[in-house]
Structure 1
Amino acid sequence: MPMRFAAIADIHGNHLALEAVLADIRAQGIADLVNLGDMLSGPLDARRTIEILMNLDAVHVLGNHDRYLLDRPPEKMGSWDRPAHAALNAVQLDWLRAQPMTRVFRDRVFLCHATPENDEVYWLDTVHPDGTVALSPLDRIEQFAQGITQSLILCAHTHLARTVRLRDGRLIVNPGSVGSPGYRDKHPFPHVVEAGTPHARYAILELVDAAWQVTFRHVVYDHEAMAALARRNNQPELANALATGWIK
């Protein structure tokens, strides 16, 4: 039976990017949507973003930054999580709390944010000690996929759109980031992730004749407005990433 749906991830409170992506999904005639987490954290507009998400007929899983909004007090949160938490009310936090860490979509697709067992570990990419971010070895990728029976596996977390085919034919896809085309991190080694353009990203997945087809979409939106908001909220690196796709 044919199956066609869209996958979004890593919105990080960028409601303008989310609105543009949803409009593009509708324009493609797609009704089914999955969201792979990291929805709200960032110095942008968590309140507007969660209002949009709560009104969608979509399937969601939590990301690590979503979990940070739920499992620690505000004084223990990071600079991206604290403002997002402050913008949310109790009903919105309860909605977030009701979302699972992993789930299976229509029996055929496994969904998680990072890896099935750990929401902070890169799956398809490896950070080397010199800060280089590169495609992981296939053996490492396949280790994380052990025990998953679905033919399509979706993950996110790195903000980098990738597709990897396992030796048994299963496909792993990261749709890229809707709302954050660059960031800096310290773990496991200091590194920078940069998408190279300011576009909002998502993926279309289609099952045709028992084979999955993947289309990555790059959507133009008013990224300058979100860059200006990040700048007003004292996040110059994110502002630069939103404006250009590059941290520096």
Structure 2
Amino acid sequence: MNLRYALLSDIHGNLAALDAVLDDLADWPDATLLDLGDTLYGPLDPRGTWQRLLVESETRRVLGINGNQDRDVLERRPSATLGFVVDELGDAGLRWLQKRPASILVDNLVYVCHGKPGDDTRYWLEDLDDGLRALADINADAADIAAEILVCGHSHIPRVLTLPDGRMIVNPGSVGLPAFRDSDPPHAMQTGAPLARYARIEATDRGWLIAHRAIPYDHEQAVEQALDRDRLDWAQWLSSGWA
């Protein structure tokens, strides 16, 4: 079995960023693509993103889960962008989202969730006051998971963290949104660069090799899409990586 996995999270309907990442993955055609959720929500190109992932699944294994904002779309939670996303996806796109689970165990090796296990609205690794959560708390959330490597998204911040038993938790960062500001509780997550982020992981004789990738792309295209939807906040985040 080939044990190569490309971790893509928080695409947020940014087709230009997704295309750049998939182009970068052309030299890894046998890798499984794991989509960690928050895939289509955003004022950019949700339908194009969904269709591009369908095309990619014709030539490689693509497995995906839903994040909190995928649920927002399915549950019709009011937002400035919800109506646009629902209209763009139509019934077929919404059915595609509905089929995806909240977490998966891949090849009995890789555990995949969006936020932290059992809660897609919480950060597994980050503490808003101290930077990282206490290791004991992070480890407690991993206690009942039988997997060699654990992956999550949601915070948009690339990280690798080693647990006391040697397992690692990997957050690949965000493909499509390099920064954001949230109101509950008030905080910002920012990478400081308008780049598309993802990670490659591979099981080898030396252990798991992890490579974070930061890919330049035509982010001004995404900025223009955000401006067309009157999302000045998204335009700022996309243009700079700062929030």
TM over 0.5: yes
Structure 2 counterpart of 1:70, from 64, 67, 74? 74
In 1, Cα distance between the equivalents of 2:209 and 2:2? 11
User: For the aligned residues, what is the CA RMSD?
Assistant: 1.5
Mapping 1:62-211, distance limit 5 Å: 62-72=66-76, 76-128=77-129, 134-187=131-184, 189-209=185-205, 211=207
Letter in structure 1 aligned against 2:196: A
The Cα shift of 1:54 comes to: 2.3
- Worse-matched range after superposition: 84-93 or 25-34: 25-34
Structure 2 counterpart of 1:233, from 221, 225, 229? 229
In 1, Cα distance between the equivalents of 2:92 and 2:228? 28
**Uncovered stretches (5+) of structure 2, i.e. residues with no partner:** none
In 2, Cα distance between the equivalents of 1:14 and 1:39? 9
Letter in structure 1 aligned against 2:19: E
- Worse-matched range after superposition: 54-63 or 176-185: 54-63
- Structure 2 match to 1:10: 10
Q: Is the 8 A contact 1:13 1:42 kept in 2?
A: yes
Label 1:141 to 1:199 Cα distance change in 2 as closer, same or farther (>3 A): same
- Structure 1 match to 2:35: 35
Q: Is the 8 A contact 1:2 1:208 kept in 2?
A: no
- Structure 1 match to 2:49: 49
1:155-182 per-residue CA deviation (whole Å, 9 max, x = no partner) reads 0000000000000011100000000001
The Cα shift of 1:81 comes to: 3.0
SS at match of 1:42: coil
In 2, Cα distance between the equivalents of 1:49 and 1:29? 19
Q: Is the 8 A contact 1:41 1:83 kept in 2?
A: no
The total of aligned residue pairs comes to 239
Q: Is the 8 A contact 1:9 1:175 kept in 2?
A: yes
Calculate the TM-score normalised by the size of structure 1.
0.92
SS at match of 2:157: coil
Calculate the TM-score normalised by the size of structure 2.
0.94
The Cα shift of 1:89 comes to: 1.3
Letter in structure 1 aligned against 2:69: H
In 1, Cα distance between the equivalents of 2:99 and 2:128? 32
SS at match of 1:51: helix
Structure 1 counterpart of 2:240, from 241, 244, 248? 244
The Cα shift of 1:210 comes to: 5.9
